[in-house]
Structure 1
Amino acid sequence: MEPVRVEEVEDKGSIIVLTPELLRSNSPDHLVLARRVRQSLEARGLLRWLLDTHSA
């Protein structure tokens, strides 16, 4: 199962649905899942856009 679901909304952009549960840094399973989320967003070019927007 993919940890991130990205759905295009016509010409308006994307809806990004992340994991349905709260990720905790003290859980090894959650760290693996967070890494998969990051990789999935990076592969779609969505994480870079998000970081660029917040650093401006």
Structure 2
Amino acid sequence: MVLKQGLTEPRAHARAGLAGFKVPQSVQHVYNLPRYTANKILKGELHGRFSRQPSDEK
């Protein structure tokens, strides 16, 4: 998600226009997205960086 200037709470903004199940559970801010030479985003690296590990608690 790329934040627009002045937007302080992205989850509240998403909640206003999306169904409840589509609102992200968490938001992580990054300064640079990993890209390769064609300037496209490396989605596999993002997935590896931000995927959640399954917890032992259920």
What TM-score does the superposition give when structure 1 sets the normalisation length? 0.25
Q: Which is bigger in relative contact order (C-alpha 8 A, separation at least 6)?
A: 1
Greater C-alpha radius of gyration: 2
Q: Identify, as 1 or 2, the structure richer in strand.
A: 1
TM-score for both structures, normalised by structure 2 = 0.24
